A and B are shown apart, each in its own frame.
Chain A
Amino acid sequence: MELTRSRTGLLAGISLLAVVFTVALTFATLQLPVVLGNWLSKYFPDIHPVIEPERVAEFMAVARPVGYACLAVIAILIVAGIVTGKRKLSTLGSLAFFLPTFGYFFASMFFLAGLGILRVPFVPFWDPSTNLMNFGDISYLPYMALVYPFWLGGIDIREVISWLVIGIGLFIFVLGTITWFYGRLQRRKAVDFWIYRHSRHPQYLGFVIWSYGVMLFAAQQLVPMGGSNPGASLLWLLTSLVIVWIALAEENKMRKEDREAYLQYRAHAPFMFRVPTFVSAVLTLPIKLLLKKSRPETGKELVATFAVYTTLLILLSSPFVFLDWPPGIGWSDWPGFIPGLPGPIMNL
């Protein structure tokens, strides 16, 4: 009885700690870019592309090779981590790949001004003639499914959804981290309790959800001077696929180290989160067709799985690119405003 009571208290305390951290980190997610952006704008001031095209050209002459070099370093980090098995390198690379998304939080005429300078690795993708950045737009499907019915009812939940998703992601991440540390303190061989009973990779899951919220928030930012906001869906998609790859590689390592314990844990806890059997069957269908089994187990199978899923998701995103959808200024005002009215959708 005493043990149960102390365990309940501990759980309540940890949950409260997770909530406090979540609120603080959500606030930091949205406020740090503003502070950092204002500071960086002293060093990378805004340039009006129409008034001063020469200055833009001059800046791009330097920024372009820097952007390509940054992208090359990030790619090397990810690949090196996978090849050498040092997954921290891949994690660092995928974080660096996603970091430029924060550049969207700074409104400027020139896309590399202020915090926008973080987007310098995006330069190779930033070609308005090909919409490369939109080749991950299939990621907006859950967002569209949530936002549209409310919009039809006159309620705008776009910003609220982004905040919620960021908060949920951080809550799962913090809970996973606290649980993992607690397990280490208890000197447990495997952390398989609390949130780890509901997800085998709560920290990765938290990161993927948090970054989805950040990506949505970035897509909603309005761009001055009639510019367009291509969003960061491709970056989120690739980053998330790398994270899933790393998680699968970790599981393969665990399986090799203690097959019995791993299989027992896997039987009770889902990979990321529990989904209906039908959804799971659809999601894993390409692996089953490709490998004739339900999951990749070797390095080569992982590479093949990553390549096939990346290609499939890009293919599924291509209608957005070819149809140039959403029309107008893109995701930043989808589903749209009615001109002349305070807005077709109420601000919550």
Chain B
Amino acid sequence: MSNKRLAAILGGCIAVIVAIVAIAALPPASGEPDGAKPNENSAFHINVIPETPVQINGDPVFKYSIAGQHFVFLVTITDEGQESEVPVHVSATAPGAEVVIYCKDIFEGEVAEVVVIPTPASIGATIEVTITGTRGSVTDEKVASFEVAEGEDDRQEYATELLDKFVSWLATNHPELGITADTTWNGTMVSPVWLVVSHYLFFSEEWELHIEWHIMVPPYDWAKIDLRHRFDELAPSYAFEISSVDAASEPVPMEVPETVWR
């Protein structure tokens, strides 16, 4: 084989491979002119879940927490014009509480989490949380408030026991969720003033798992979970139920709640 022929074959092969990769790398046609600068000041508004207080018969009704509880607000944005290529930066202040924000820079469709942790000094007080979104010179702001009740987390042990039951079942029956026995969960009590049905939230790096159980004699001692995919979902996407914990019933799928529990 002559050098010329070899060079031609190699050149042809390289050209074909480069062409295929280039076609694959071409961005989909979006109608946006080439070289357009992303709009740093395009308008948006922020949305915060849960809304607290809510007005019932003209009176504000607050949600409750206890000192040390993680009160998790979900924050999204809606672009008012064309979708921007610049993310909105989320910040928050809450006097009397510690604030931690996960996923601070979000685009439309993404979810930031603003975690507000009341200090013991704020028991009996109302925590006012101001959540601000900033993009360039444009800002939007939402205010939410909740009350801090006296109390302590006395549900963690049983909540963890129930969590383990669901996790081992999910690991076997729903491997597509990526939840295994090794998944690390951080828990926080929620709804401290609710008594007959207890609630607890667990967070892994990927999932928010809300667990609730009925404090009742068998066969009415049900336990339920719902799962929200963090950072891209505002509401749960899976839900499962154990009809009777005492009877060691297997979890079964149930209707997925429309909103997250707070």
Contacts and interface: CB of A to CB of B under 8 A. Distances in A.
Interface of A: 46, 48, 50-51, 53, 107, 109, 127, 129-132, 135, 222-226, 290-291, 298, 300-301, 303-304, 307-308, 310-311, 314-315, 318, 321-322, 329, 333, 337, 340-343
Given A48-B205, A321-B24, A224 B178 contact: yes
Interface in B160-180: 172-176, 178, 180
Given A129-B27, A318-B24, A322-B24, A51 B205 contact: yes
A318 B205 CA distance: 34
B197 interface: no
Interface in B7-50: 9-10, 12-14, 16-17, 20-21, 23-25, 27
Contact of B103 (A50, A109, A310, A340): A50
Q: Which 6 A-B pairs have the closest CB atoms?
A: A307-B13, A311-B13, A224-B178, A130-B25, A342-B173, A340-B253
Contacts of A290: 9
B231 interface: yes
Nearest to A224: B178
Contacts of A308: 9, 13
B196 interface: no
Contact residues of A: prevailing secondary structure: loop
B83 interface: no
Nearest to A307: B13
A131 B20 CA distance: 11
A311 B21 CA distance: 12
15 contacts: A50-B102, A222-B178, A226-B229, A300-B6, A301-B1, A303-B10, A304-B1, A304-B9, A307-B13, A307-B14, A311-B16, A315-B16, A318-B24, A337-B174, A343-B173
B21 A130 contact: yes
Interface string B197-241: 000000001100000000000000000000001111000000000
A202 to B, nearest CB: 30
Contacts of A51: 102-103, 205
